[in-house]
Structure 1
């Protein structure tokens, strides 16, 4: 990979991962346009580092807000931790169940079938983008909740976790777009659901990184003990990508917060639908 290709992928990942427009869809299309193989070991390592960069961007951006919202008292911390754990548990059940169903239907329960084999399917990507766009536009028509009615509850956390689980196997169906839209439709305030959506992302991202890391070891055929010497030549470009994805992630989060505050959330939905039509057209 060239320097410019790494920078492009890092910026695309950093922006699209945190904006409600599906990073997977944009990264896959960018890889295809640049003639890169997403299954290559260097691409897998780069993806791991890009996810790490955006995770750090989320932590830095929301840290002060989370301190006020989640750590103001022991009671508040326990309550919010419960909501996050509850939503994540529902996500795990739904996501793993869907992946099992997909493996049974499309992979015929083959031992070597991986859900990632469907990631390059442009029809799946375009359909996911269209679904996310419709959900975003639909949710933007709901009035913001107020006072107690605009806060989270166990039921709302479970529904948000369920929708997040639907996003896991379907590339193009934006996680942030779906979870924030679901919260808005349920009457949760914009600020509260944004904080909660990205708190869920920080919890979920290490599992995604670990999964991609496992795929990396599997694809290179090396053991963890031999990994440092085998992966060292690929490490510097990936670290560079992580830095750029971190910077792009901070820009994306500021952009998202502004449009939520300024009642422009529906514009992300319009972009998703436009992007899905373009992908359908390009094939």
Structure 2
């Protein structure tokens, strides 16, 4: 993987991590389109660049992260289901990460959900994510487990989960952002540990690629988060649903017609 390819992937990650369109799915598609071989470092990179996007959330919501201990306890409770399922099914998840067809199908299915989610959950009672209960946090955490299927979207699953628990669009989106911090940090830590356990070592070039990738992802994610909150509060999720359906449909047609995604 070249530095230019890494920057492109970092831009994709920063743009899509907090949108309900599946950053993992887009990274798999982008990697296939650029013909990047799924080496151990590439697999690590597509997870580790999430550290930059994590930092963007902490910076943008700095005061929220240092308000009370209950904030961290609720995030921990919501994080538990994904931590357990992630450890139990890590091998199966890794296998699915190499399947563009899996991504395409889940993009379409998730898109259909987003077309109707605003109508299904149109009577919110909680407009501030700080006011959710521990039980609500745990339920949202179980929704997050759906995102282990590539193409589902971690943010999409947790936002829908939040809205199903009577959170407003804004509150559900913000809690989704906050929950991303322990979830993505844990996923990155596990991937790094596995990388070293398999006997791999970083080269100097790979260190540079990781640093630049995280920096680019951080900058792009800040822009994406600010834009997303304003848009979804005003217009809802239907546009993201149509986007997912169109992209997923195109990929399915390409794959079924025998075309390879490695076209660049």
- What is the CA distance between 1:148 and its match in structure 2? 8.3
**In 2, Cα distance between the equivalents of 1:123 and 1:46?**
22
TM-score of the superposition, structure 1-length normalised?
0.80
**SS of match in other structure, 2:113:** helix
Structure 1 gap segments, 5+ residues each: 72-76, 101-112
**In 2, Cα distance between the equivalents of 1:173 and 1:79?**
29
**In 2, Cα distance between the equivalents of 1:37 and 1:159?**
37
Q: Is the 8 A contact 1:128 1:173 kept in 2?
A: yes
Structure 2 vs 1, CA of residues 90 and 268 (structure 1 numbering), >3 Å: closer, same or farther? same
Matched, 1:122 2:100: yes
Write out per-residue CA displacement over residues 119-157 of structure 1, whole angstroms, 9 at most, x where no aligned residue.
121221122212322332232112252468984223322
**SS of match in other structure, 1:262:** helix
**In 2, Cα distance between the equivalents of 1:123 and 1:44?**
18
Question: Which residue in 2 is equivalent to 1:60?
Answer: 59
Question: Which residue in 2 is equivalent to 1:281?
Answer: 253
**SS of match in other structure, 1:18:** coil
Question: Which residue in 2 is equivalent to 1:74?
Answer: none
Question: Which residue in 1 is equivalent to 2:145?
Answer: 165
Rg larger in 1 or in 2?
1
- What is the CA distance between 1:94 and its match in structure 2? 4.2
Q: How does 1:265-276 map to 2 (within 5 A)?
A: 265-276=237-248
Q: How does 1:1-283 map to 2 (within 5 A)?
A: 1-41=1-41, 43-64=42-63, 66=64, 71=67, 77-97=68-88, 99=89, 115-141=93-119, 142-146=121-125, 151-168=131-148, 170-219=149-198, 221-222=199-200, 227=201, 230-283=202-255
Structure 2 gap segments, 5+ residues each: 256-264
Structure 2 vs 1, CA of residues 2 and 159 (structure 1 numbering), >3 Å: closer, same or farther? same
TM-score of the superposition, structure 2-length normalised?
0.85
Aligned length: 253
**SS of match in other structure, 1:63:** coil
Structure 2 vs 1, CA of residues 154 and 54 (structure 1 numbering), >3 Å: closer, same or farther? same
**In 1, Cα distance between the equivalents of 2:101 and 2:47?**
25
Structure 2 vs 1, CA of residues 236 and 82 (structure 1 numbering), >3 Å: closer, same or farther? closer
Structure 2 vs 1, CA of residues 188 and 24 (structure 1 numbering), >3 Å: closer, same or farther? same
- What is the CA distance between 1:167 and its match in structure 2? 1.4
